[in-house]
A and B are shown apart, each in its own frame.
Chain A
Amino acid sequence: MAGMSAQKPADGQEQRARDMGMTTEALTGRTQQVFFEPSEEERFTYPWAADVDYNKRTEIDADGLTTTEVNKRLRDLMAEGFGTVVIQNPRGKHGLGVGILNRLNLIFEGSLGYFGVGLIDGPNVRITGRVGWSCAENMMAGTVVIEKNAGSTFGAAIRGGDLVCKGSVGSRTGIDMKGGTIIVGGDTGALSGFMMQRGRMVVCGNAGKNLGDSMYDGTIYVGGEIRSLGVDAVEAELTDLDRAWLTRKLRQYGLLPERGVDHFTKVVAGKQLWNYDNLEPNEKKLIL
């Protein structure tokens, strides 16, 4: 890489890593010998999170500011204890409100461009306008409510939290989602839920072609027509627990249909594509 020479790790780096509770062994997905301590202090936010007060409110006029300037101002305001921030005139700027790992009420008065409010963990966001591609990509926790429409790859790789678009969204909604809930008040485009691994997607309107294609797990609920199911996506029975959850969740965001949720179709993985298989490399060798 330019400007970097190949250097050996600094002396003692491995020891420092061990002192920090890390090890240099490859992760296997198994325990790292971390045990919960029952006497842990009771707290609800990350140790480094700013202590904010939802009743302390301020505004930022984004006109004339760059994305970086707006995001830095947001960070500074949280450090000052502001728990409710209104951003005026976002004017479709890309990458606004990303990487917030704090509790915060964030209101955008207008529309966002690409990758708005991505990588967030905790805040409650309301956007009065529209959003571009990949809104709330890699979201970890919190709520995001968009009053109008959203672009493609809405909630890509989302891991947790509630992502709600009251209008319609483009294609590949929730692609590679690994948790959380995506709710669409209108229609969703083709290949929604593609390679979904877990979490829930609720579409009150219609779904485009290849819904849930190659999904590994998770659940998709559709209130309207499904143009076609993707590979290994199958219909399942809507249970009473599903109905109760759907009713509560949709009511929470003012999207509960007048006729209830009984007409929703539930789609899950057929699990025919599962191939978590130790033998696979050997089988490949034999075949090849």
Chain B
Amino acid sequence: MAGTQYRGSEITDVDQFLKDADGLVSEREKEIGQHIGYRYDVNLVPDYDRLTPFLAKYMEVMGWDDLNWLEDVHMGYEEGHPAVFDRNINGWVRVPDSIALPDNQQDRDMIARELLIKFQMSDRHPLVELRKAYMKF
């Protein structure tokens, strides 16, 4: 109910949601059986010293001085697997096990951004088929 006096749990360990897929920390979370809030820090601003060459090239092609909309993209976790949320399909895209995860969230976020661009711009993205089916003009 609105005004309920409780807070979501804080993310204290970068591997928190890999080690514990449910991520139930606070008493309230344990009581309701679900994690409250995001599984990553939505307010973490990017550290541009960790930019990958692919992302630098993307910025150049788009004519942007920074990551633009990708500043809001972070690596999250779905059922204990690293994943990135794709707003265009309203779902998670899982990161392959073959990709080694760095030990810090900033570098993980850069990987997530790179994967998301590659996925969204690919011919096999679901939006390509949806566009064919529903495009009006």
Contact = CB atoms under 8 A, between A and B. Distances in A.
Interface stretch (A38-46, A86-94, A203-211): A38-46
A237 interface: no
Given A29-B90, A35-B93, A35-B94, A105 B68 contact: no
Interface in B1-58: 1-8, 31-34, 36-38, 42-48, 54, 57-58
Given A32-B91, A34-B91, A36-B115, A276 B36 contact: yes
B82 to A, nearest CB: 10
A20 B118 contact: no
A20 B91 contact: no
Contacts of A159: 69, 72, 87
B34 A274 contact: no
B62 to A, nearest CB: 6
Given A199-B72, A217-B43, A34 B89 contact: yes
Contacts of B68: 141-143, 160-162
A160 B37 contact: no
Given A29-B90, A160-B69, A274-B8, A46 B45 contact: no
25 contacts: A20-B130, A30-B79, A30-B91, A32-B126, A34-B89, A34-B94, A35-B94, A36-B94, A38-B96, A40-B118, A41-B122, A42-B54, A42-B118, A44-B57, A47-B125, A160-B69, A179-B72, A180-B69, A218-B42, A248-B48, A252-B66, A268-B43, A274-B4, A278-B32, A279-B31
